[in-house]
Chain A
Amino acid sequence: MSELLSANVLTGMLNTMLTLATPLLFAALGETFSQRSGVVNLGVDGIMLLSAFGAFYVVLTNGSLFLGLVVAMLIGIAMGAAMSFVSVTMKAEQGVSGIGLQMFGLGMSSLLFKVMVGTVKTVQGFPRVRIPLLAEIPFLGPILFNNNVLVYIAFALVPICWYVLERTTIGLAIKAVGQNPAAADSRGINVDLVRYGSVCFGAMLAGMAGAAISISTVNLFQDNLTAGQGFIAVALVYFGGWTPVGVMFGALLFSVANSLQLWLQVLGVNVPAGLANMLPYILTIVVLTISVSRGKAPAALNRPFLRGEN
C-alpha cells in the first residue's frame, strides 16, 4: 500500500481521473442545458455511441482529428434535432423517446462498425499537450497541464456554461422556459425554439463526449463502447443540482472512483473485479438518492408545453 501513496502514482492517478471525467463532463454539461430548458434527454448514451463511431471512422480513414471532432458534433446536433422533434414538437413522453434514441444509437453504431470497419482497429488519438511553464509546477503541473486538448476544452466549458446560464439573456430564456413555459411564452419567448436550441446544443456536447472516448481516451471503437456512461452523465445532472460547477464535481467524484480502481489493478492490489465494477453504479444510485432531496429541479422538467394547457 505504500506504493499507492508515492507521488508518482498519485500524479498518474489524478491525471487519469481528469481524462476519465472528460466524456462525463461534456455529456453532463450538455444535459444540463437540455434539462434547464425542461427536456430530459435520455438518449445521451446513444448520441455518444454514434458520434464516437463517426469520429473514430473519420480519423481512421482520413486521419484528421479535427474533422473527426466536427463530425461527432454534427452527428450530435442531428440526433438532438430528432429528439427535439419527437419530444418538443410532437410532445412525446420524454423518457420513452430518449430510450428510443439510445437504442437507435446503439444499434446504428454497432451496425456501421460491423459493415464499415469490421475488426478492432486503433487510431492515433489527440496527443497530450504540455502547457509550457504551467506544466513545470511541482505536483499540480503534470496533473492539470499535461492533458489532451479535449480535457482542456471540457473543463474550460464549465465557467463558460455557467456564464451563459447565469449572466446572459439566452441563459435567462432557457431557465424561464424550463421553470415556467407559460409565463415565458406570454413574455414573447418562443418556448419550442429555446428547447430545440438547448437540446441540440446539449446533444452536440454529447457528441464531443463520444469523441472524447473514441479518439482521445481509448482510441478505438467497439460495440457499446460507452458502457452506459451517457446514463451516468444524466444522473450527474441531478447530482450537480442542474449547475455546471456541481456537474463538474460529480464527474470528478465518479472518475476518482474509477481511476482508483484502474490504478489499484495496475499496482496489483487485489480487489474483486466484479465488486469494483459495480461500484460506480451503486454510487450513482446513492448519489441520486441524496441529491434529489435538494429539489432544485426545473419546475417544468419532463413536461411538454402546450399553449393554453399548462
Chain B
Amino acid sequence: MAYCGCMGDNASVGSKIAISKGVNRHRHDWRELGIRVLVPAAGVIAALLVSALFLILLRANPIAAYAAMVRGAVGSTFGLTQTLVKMTPLLLVGLGICIAFRAKCINIGGRGQMIAGALLTASFALRFGHLPPVVLLPMMIVLGFVGGAVWGFVPGFLKARFAVNEILTTIMMNSIALQLMNMLLQGALMDPAGIEAGTFLAQSARLPDAGRLARIVPRTLLHSGLFIALVMAVVVYVFLWRTTLGYRIRAVGLNPQASRYAGIKVPAYQALSLTLAGGLAGIAGAVEIMGVHYRLLEGFTSGYGFTGIVAALLGWLHPLGLIPASLFFGGLLIGADTMQRAVQVPSALVNAILGLVVLFVSASTVWTQRLIQRFRSQETAHE
C-alpha cells in the first residue's frame, strides 16, 4: 500500500512538485495563507455590502440590521450556544462536501443525505429503544452514516459507471429523499400520539431517552453532537492528508489525467468520495434529530445542505478551515432570526446573502490562484 502511495505521489502531482518543492517553501507559506484567507473574506464583505444595498432599498437600516445579527449570534450565552447548535450540522455536511470537492465532485445532495441518514437512525431507534445507550447511540450514528452513504453512493456510482453529472443526480436525490420522508411521516412513521390526538402532525414519535445526545449547557439546545462534528473534522483531515486513500482522492481531484496514468482508478475514487460525503451528511442528519429535535420531523434539515456548500467553499475546502467557516455561517443563520425581529426584514435575506457569497467567492478563486502563482514565481526568481 505504501509503495502504491509513493507511485501516486510522484506521478499525479508531477507538474506541481516542481513548484511546491521550492527551497524557501515556508517563507511564502504565510503569504499564501494570507491570500487564501483574505480573498474569500473580501468576497463575504462584498456580499454583505450588496445586501446592505438591498436593506436600504427595503427601507431598513443596514447598520442596525447587521448589529442585530451580531448581537443575536454572539451577544448572549444563549445566542452563542444556538450558533454552535447550527454549526454542528453545517460542519458535518461541509466536511462531506469538502471530500467530494477534493475529488472534483460537486455534492449538492447534503439535504437528501441528511434525510436518508436521519430516516434510518430514527427508524432503528424507534424499534430498538430498549437497548442500552452504550449500544444504541453508536449504532444510531453508524446508521446515520450508512443511510447518507447509500444516498451518496447512487450519484457516485452513476458518475463512475455512466458518467452521469453528479450535480443533477444529487439534486434529484434530495427531492426523492424529501418525498420519501414526507410519505413515511404521514404513514408508517407518524407519531401514534398525534394520530390519537387527531393532530396528524408530520413527525415521528419521540426518540427513546437512550437515543438522545446529552445537552452540554443546561436550558439550551447545545448538545454533544458538536464534539462529534469537531472530532470528525480532525478525522477527515487525517484521512485526506495522512492516508493513502485520502491521498488518492486528492490526487484524482488535482489531476485526473496524471492519476489515471499512475494507475489510480479515477471513477472509483470519485464514487468513494461521494459515498463518504453522503455518510458525513448522514451523520449530520442523525445528530440533528438525536441532539436537537428528539424526533424526525418535516423540515429538520432547514437549509443545511446548501449552507454547508457555502461553508465548505469559504473554509478553502479544508476540514480544519471548515471549523471557523461553519461557525461563521452558524452565526449568520442565528443572527438572521434576531435581525428579522429587530428590523422586520425576513430572515430569507440570509439565503440571498449566501447566494451572493457563493458568487463572489467562486468569482474570486481565479484571483486567489493568480496571486499565489505570482508570489511563487517571484520566489523562484529570487533563487
Contacts and interface: CB of A to CB of B under 8 A. Distances in A.
Q: Do A and B come from one complex?
A: yes
Interface of A: 42, 46, 82, 85-86, 90-93, 95-97, 99-108, 110-111, 114-115, 223, 228, 231, 234-235, 238, 272-275, 277-278, 281-282, 284-285, 288-289, 292-293
Contact of B168 (A105, A273, A288): A288
A279 B263 CA distance: 39
B349 interface: yes
B365 A103 contact: no
**Main secondary structure on chain B at its contact with chain A?**
helix
B108 interface: yes
Contacts of B108: 99
Contacts of A278: 175-176, 179-180, 183
Contact of B180 (A42, A106, A274): A274
A272 B353 CA distance: 38
Contacts of B187: 274
A107 B162 contact: no
B363 A101 contact: no
B374 to A, nearest CB: 16
B61 interface: no
Contact of B346 (A92, A110, A231, A289): A110
Given A100-B359, A104-B355, A107-B348, A281 B175 contact: yes
A157 to B, nearest CB: 23
B183 A289 contact: no
Interface in B174-188: 175-176, 179-180, 182-184, 186-187
| Size category, B interface | 35 or more
B352 A111 contact: yes
Contacts of A292: 162-165
Interface in B342-358: 345-346, 348-358
B171 A95 contact: no
Contact of A85 (B306, B309, B363): B363
A288 B173 CA distance: 13
9 contacts: A46-B355, A92-B362, A97-B363, A114-B348, A278-B175, A282-B172, A285-B164, A288-B158, A288-B169
B353 A107 contact: yes
Contacts of A101: 355, 359
B92 to A, nearest CB: 19
A261 B34 CA distance: 55
Contacts of A82: 359
B176 A104 contact: no
A281 B172 contact: yes
A288 to B, nearest CB: 5
A33 to B, nearest CB: 18
Nearest to A228: B175
Contacts of A95: 106, 167
B195 interface: no
A176 to B, nearest CB: 23
B45 interface: no
B313 interface: yes
Contact of A285 (B169, B351, B357): B169
Most buried by A among B108, B171, B182: B171
B306 A231 contact: no
B131 to A, nearest CB: 30
B350 A107 contact: yes
B56 to A, nearest CB: 13
Contacts, number: 146
Most buried by A among B54, B162, B175: B175
Contacts of B350: 107
A110 B186 CA distance: 27
A100 B173 CA distance: 19
B167 A115 contact: no
Contact of B351 (A86, A93, A106): A106
B355 A106 contact: yes
Contacts of A234: 168
Contacts of A235: 168, 172
Contacts of B154: 285
A234 B165 CA distance: 11
Contacts of A106: 351, 355
Nearest 6 pairs of A and B residues by beta carbon: A107-B351, A274-B183, A104-B355, A100-B358, A103-B355, A107-B352
Nearest to A93: B362
A192 to B, nearest CB: 14
A15 B356 CA distance: 39
B259 to A, nearest CB: 19
Contact of B348 (A102, A110, A231): A110
Nearest to A96: B362
Contact of B58 (A115, A223, A288, A293): A115
A289 B354 CA distance: 31
A127 to B, nearest CB: 32
B366 interface: yes
Contacts of A289: 158, 162, 164
B189 to A, nearest CB: 12
A47 to B, nearest CB: 12
Nearest to B187: A274
A106 B353 CA distance: 11
A284 B182 CA distance: 20
Contacts of B366: 90-92
Contact of A86 (B310, B348, B363): B363
Interface string B142-174: 000000000000100010001111011101110
A281 B151 CA distance: 14
B51 to A, nearest CB: 10
Given A104-B351, A278-B176, 4 more contacts: A90-B363, A92-B363, A99-B306, A289-B158
Contacts of A293: 162
A228 B171 contact: yes
A114 B346 contact: yes
A27 to B, nearest CB: 14
Given A99-B358, A274-B183, A292-B163, A108 B172 contact: no
Contacts of A274: 179-180, 182-184, 186-187
A88 to B, nearest CB: 11
